[in-house]
Structure 1
Amino acid sequence: MTLRHSLYLTFPGNAAEVLTYYRSVFGGELTMMTYGEMGNLDEYPFAPDPDWVAHGELRGTVNVSGGDGGDHPLGSPVYSMVIYGDDVEEGRALLDRLAEDGGEAIMPYEQAPWGDYYGQVRDRFGVIWAVAASVR
């Protein structure tokens, strides 16, 4: 078995907007299917809008999957998405892109006590992204 990872986020009705935004930040290939395309809407434990994304997947350097699932706000201080790399300036540029258009830096991107560069941004949708770049 080949294992791969993907984040899965449940969106409050704006999955198409968020996933399209993440594609603009991370690049990759994005596919989406709506609930209307899936078929019988009565099979779900909630009443989805037929235009909502039932499943979306961004595949690339960063993999993100998700769909619309009701009135669940994104963002919580109890978790963050962590991206590791080995290029300090690329890490800085990624955090800058996530902070654009309403995001906010919540931890400056600088050399941490353990030697790597590290910083955090809450994107405009409320999701916290951490970027670490190894300098070893």
Structure 2
Amino acid sequence: MTVLLNPYLNFHGTAREALEFYHSVLGGTLNLMQYDAIPGMMGDPSESTLIMHGQLETEDGLTLMAADYPASMQEVPDASTPGSSVCVSGDDLERLTAIWTALAESATHIQQPFEKAPWGDTFGMLSDRFGVPWMISGGPAQD
């Protein structure tokens, strides 16, 4: 039996762009479902091409999901609201550095550069171009 915990990010009209960007950063397989895939799901026809559910799955086991809020939910906080982060960690420093570099390239804010931390891991924090907070942490390989 398998149990998974996956980040699910909500956006206000930029889920497609965000997921396509994350796909370019993380690789893997991206599946997108628009609201118009299920007739009657979206009340406003102008929002029919928004993402009802998107899922990115990578070869190394990462899963990231996202969706767009409809305009009727504009007041609901989205993934750029402070209080949570997407964290990617492991012992493949080359892979983690590549992820960091791609996210940092267009980041809106780098809180902590990706460098050796006092506790020994390589660690960094940033907000990507969509305002989503990320933490990247690389530790030594486990035996």
**TM-score above 0.5, yes or no:** yes
* 1:18 Cα offset (Å): 0.6
- CA distance 1:102–1:120, change in 2 (3 Å): closer
Structure 1: where are the runs of 5+ without partners? none
Task: Measure the CA separation in 1 of the matches of 2:65 and 2:78.
Answer: 16
TM-score (norm 2): 0.82
Structure 2: where are the runs of 5+ without partners? none
Amino acid at match of 1:134: G
Give the number of aligned pairs. 133
Task: Measure the CA separation in 2 of the matches of 1:92 and 1:105.
Answer: 15
**1:29-48 map, 5 Å:** 29-41=29-41, 47=44
Amino acid at match of 1:109: F
Which of residues 121, 125, 139 is equivalent to 1:134? Answer: 139
Matched-pair contact (CA < 8 Å) for 1:110–1:118: yes
Is the partner of 1:119 in helix, strand or coil? strand
Is the partner of 2:100 in helix, strand or coil? helix
TM-score (norm 1): 0.86
Aligned partner of 2:103 in structure 1 is: 98
- For the pair 1:9 / 2:28, whether they are aligned, the reply is no
- For the pair 1:51 / 2:49, whether they are aligned, the reply is yes
* 1:83 Cα offset (Å): 0.7
What's the % identity of the aligned pairs? Answer: 35
**1:18-37 map, 5 Å:** 18-37=18-37
Amino acid at match of 1:98: L
Task: Measure the CA separation in 2 of the matches of 1:104 and 1:122.
Answer: 5
Amino acid at match of 2:50: W
* 1:93 Cα offset (Å): 2.5
Task: Measure the CA separation in 2 of the matches of 1:37 and 1:16.
Answer: 15
* 1:102 Cα offset (Å): 4.5
Amino acid at match of 1:30: L
Quote the RMSD (CA, aligned, Å).
1.9
